[in-house]
């Protein structure tokens, strides 16, 4: 069945025809039949070079043979037990070995569950209620963080269904704004349990921290007894072996993980200092539980993915990312366009914006209509990126030089069309 018919059928049974709003675009999304390496194949017979990669977890591409073989073996032994396995210890050791802040780790079922749990742990550890997040940052679709800035630093719900009372303990300031951070801590420091941030804001495109901003965060939270949480659901094991905290050499108190840690299967984790982690039940008073937490399928996939990610992997990915971004810069210069690609390692995006993007307000000032033309032209030519410039694009180890060269040629065509209209 082709995509149009499948979408009409899906809408009868699934709200909006999709199980995540990120997958919706007009007139209808394509429907995937299978993935292989850097490619997706849809039900209409089309092949795409994939830079969405399930929004980040598939750093080894689709259907990595080692991961698939391990999963087939594990599936024959059972998919869930409701009891501990040795694999959980193996994966926990991998996380602790790689992530600088990790002394202990608790596995959960998604990145959103990890951030929700880490915030609860921070509150339990400090005995304080208020949290700080940065404007435009996404930490999962739970009530703690699905909030936006009100008239001051106080948060208001970002969607229906969240009570105002839930929002009252969340404070929001712009990312990379040192003055706003210092002012907020001066006013509210003794009431704040934690500050949570995406080190690189990857759910608004790609916004890195300004030089010195992470160091200020680390200093100011330590001085005020505030738990610093790095949301590395995207950057964990993606930007480097030890994530963004290794890349920028700043260590938080807690770290949340998702995507890559599950090897392409549903999985999340939060990890950090022993004294903070040990407030989690059954050791401590902060309750957290889940039927599929640490399930053997996700654990197996995670182990077999992480064990393939060594220093050579990241060097190779850095080379590919640099080549793609520099080629895009050359195209943009040749076309005399006032836009700029951004990124690091195997992550990239291009804002249709003449100005530097340092926070979410800058990002939202970008030309969304022109970007959508660009997205659709790429898709038409067999290149799949997320259908929003407020998401990040990703490379995998399986993307070849030929894939990148084909992509660069297609990007030039798409940009020409986008800026003609």
- Catalytic positions, written as ranges: 138, 231, 259
Tell me the residue ranges of DSSP E strands in 145-257. Answer: 147-149, 155-157, 170-173, 192-198, 227-231, 254-257
How crowded is residue 217: how many other Cβ atoms within 10 Å of its Cβ? 23
How many angstroms separate the Cα of 181 from the Cα of each of 63, 155, 173, 226?
43, 15, 7, 13
**Phi, psi of 231, deg, nearest 5:** -85, 100
Q: Are 7 and 31 in contact (CB under 8 A)?
A: yes
Which single residue is written with the structure tokens 């059954």? 282
Three-state DSSP at 394 gives strand
Interacting residues of 312 by C-beta distance below 8 A, sequence separation 6+ = none
Sequence-separated contacts (24+) of 102-106 with Cβ below 8 Å: 102/255, 102/271, 102/272, 103/271, 103/272, 103/273, 103/274, 103/277, 104/271, 104/272, 104/274, 104/277, 104/278, 105/269, 105/270, 105/271, 105/277, 106/269, 106/270, 106/271, 106/277, 106/280, 106/288, 106/293
| H/E element, 104 | strand 104-108
**Phi, psi of 133, deg, nearest 5:** -130, 170
* Residue 49 structure tokens: 């070079």
Pairing of strands 347-351, 393-394: antiparallel
Closest CA relative to residue 110, chosen from 293, 245, 237:
293
| H/E element, 333 | helix 311-334
* Residue 382 structure tokens: 């067999």
**Phi, psi of 371, deg, nearest 5:** -65, -40
CA atoms in the 13 A half-sphere facing the CB of 380? 10
């Amino acid at each position: 069945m082709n995509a149009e018919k499948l979408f009409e059928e899906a809408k009868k049974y699934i709200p909006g025809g999709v199980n995540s709003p990120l997958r919706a675009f007009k007139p209808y999304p394509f429907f995937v039949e299978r993935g292989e390496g850097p490619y997706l194949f849809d039900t209409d017979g089309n092949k795409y070079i994939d830079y969405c990669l399930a929004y980040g977890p598939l750093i080894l591409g689709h259907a990595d043979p080692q991961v698939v073989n391990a999963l087939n073996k594990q599936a024959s032994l059972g998919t869930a037990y409701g009891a501990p396995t040795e694999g959980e210890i193996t994966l926990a050791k991998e996380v602790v070995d790689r992530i600088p802040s990790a002394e202990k780790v608790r596995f959960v079922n998604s990145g959103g569950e990890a951030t929700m749990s880490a915030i609860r742990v921070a509150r339990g550890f400090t005995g304080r209620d208020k949290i700080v997040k940065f404007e435009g940052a996404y930490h999962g679709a739970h009530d703690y963080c699905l909030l936006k800035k009100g008239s001051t630093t106080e948060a208001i719900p970002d969607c229906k269904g969240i009570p105002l009372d839930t929002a009252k303990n969340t404070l929001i300031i712009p990312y990379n704004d040192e003055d706003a951070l210092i002012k907020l801590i001066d006013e509210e420091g003794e009431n704040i349990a934690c500050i949570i941030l995406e080190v690189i804001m990857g759910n608004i495109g790609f916004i890195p921290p300004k030089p010195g901003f992470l160091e200020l965060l680390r200093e100011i939270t330590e001085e005020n007894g505030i738990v610093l949480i790095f949301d590395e659901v995207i950057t964990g094991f993606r930007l480097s072996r030890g994530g963004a905290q290794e890349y920028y050499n700043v260590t938080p108190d807690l770290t949340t993980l998702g995507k890559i840690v599950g090897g392409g299967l549903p999985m999340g984790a939060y990890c950090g200092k022993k004294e903070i982690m040990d407030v989690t039940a059954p050791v401590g008073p902060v309750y957290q539980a889940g039927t599929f937490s640490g399930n053997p399928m996700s654990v197996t996939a995670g182990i077999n993915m992480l064990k393939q990610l060594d220093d050579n992997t990241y060097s190779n990915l850095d080379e590919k990312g640099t080549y793609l971004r520099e080629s895009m810069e050359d195209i943009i210069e040749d076309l005399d366009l006032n836009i700029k690609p951004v990124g690091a390692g195997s992550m990239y995006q291009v804002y249709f914006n003449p100005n530097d993007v340092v926070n979410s307000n800058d990002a939202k000032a970008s030309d969304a209509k022109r970007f959508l033309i660009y997205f659709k032209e790429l898709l038409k030519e067999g290149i799949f990126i997320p259908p929003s410039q407020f998401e990040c694009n990703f490379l995998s180890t399986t993307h070849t030089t030929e894939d990148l060269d084909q992509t660069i040629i297609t990007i030039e065509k798409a940009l020409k069309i986008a800026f003609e209209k």
